[in-house]
Amino acid sequence: MGVSMGKHVYLESDGKLLLVYNDGSGPAIPKMGRVDHDSDTELIRLPTEEELENFGIPWEEIRTNRFRLAQEDHVVTHGKPLVDWPGEWAWKDSVISDNSVDPVARESVYRTIHRVVSKVLILNSKREVLMAKVSRGFFTGCWTLPGGFVDYGEHPREAAIREAKEELGIDIVIEDPKGETGESFGDDDGAYIREEIFTDDGINWISFTYKCHADFEYEEITPKQDEIEEAMWFSISEAIDNAVSIFDIEALNRLK
């Protein structure tokens, strides 16, 4: 008979994750790409705190995530195992594609994947900042710096340039003093990197904010329909007052 699935412990080290079978034995190893799951296939899941005591694994608590799957609430305690590299544990990457792995374990792995966003702080010759009022998404009706999600295989610097073009129809150049995306040029890209987990659902965000200089007249700016309501130049103090994202506010504060 299975244990209560309400509380779980997530131990990960160097890409390895501790999983157990439904009777608490393990370590259990998923099979990537396994589609069929029936009564003859044993469930693979996260261990409970009590089961970890049987393994004798020392660990330190890092954080606690809470989320709901279907109609059941789950509490997942993330911890750091105080052991050498656990070679006999499951590779984290193999968890998501095995249907024999409990959805709570798969959801927990999913929530450890970074959400990477890239933004750009555009300054004109008057030291004004270009901001966009968003018409959909989390910041609907609010002013933000141009930017968005970094695509797979895309450098954050390239993402900021692409997002400025997509959202506002403008072509910008961000200095690349270290040559991260090609030949080095310029001496200051203003790069500011911030990581944050905002709520106890455990979604982790990393934001890259770059700085560039450009003068655009309003007639040169074409906000993307259904995404950007309008664009406007603000003084630095006005931009800080209007910004709502902590990533934007901290990047703007550095200009002072």
Average pLDDT, the chain: 92
- The pLDDT value recorded for residue 32 is 87
Judged by average pLDDT, the poorest of 95-104, 114-123, 127-136 is: 95-104
- CA–CA distance, 136 with 150 (Å, rounded to integer): 18
| 94: nearest Cα among 23, 27, 160 | 27
- CA–CA distance, 43 with 23 (Å, rounded to integer): 9
Say if residue 65 is in the same domain as residue 136.
no
Number of domains within the chain: 2
Say if residue 97 is in the same domain as residue 123.
no
With H, G, I as helix, E, B as strand and everything else as coil, classify residue 229: strand
Question: Is the pLDDT confidence value at 61 over 70?
Answer: yes
Would 40 be classed as within a structural domain? yes
Would 2 be classed as within a structural domain? no
Question: Is the pLDDT confidence value at 4 over 50?
Answer: no
In whole angstroms, how far apart are CA 155 and each of 139, 182, 213?
A: 24, 11, 20
In whole angstroms, how far apart are CA 144 and each of 87, 119, 167, 213, 230?
A: 45, 9, 11, 17, 11
Question: Is the pLDDT confidence value at 41 over 70?
Answer: no
* Triad 39, 43, 47: Cα angle to 5°: 155
With H, G, I as helix, E, B as strand and everything else as coil, classify residue 139: coil
With H, G, I as helix, E, B as strand and everything else as coil, classify residue 164: helix
Instruction: Note the pTM of the prediction, 2 decimals.
Output: 0.83
Mean pLDDT of 193-214: 92
Structural domain range at position 197: 115-253
More confident position, 140 or 40 = 140
Q: Return all residues near 107 (Cβ < 8 A) that are at least 6 apart.
A: 67, 69, 74
- The pLDDT value recorded for residue 44 is 95
CATH number at residue 150: 3.90.79.10
Question: Is the pLDDT confidence value at 137 over 90?
Answer: no
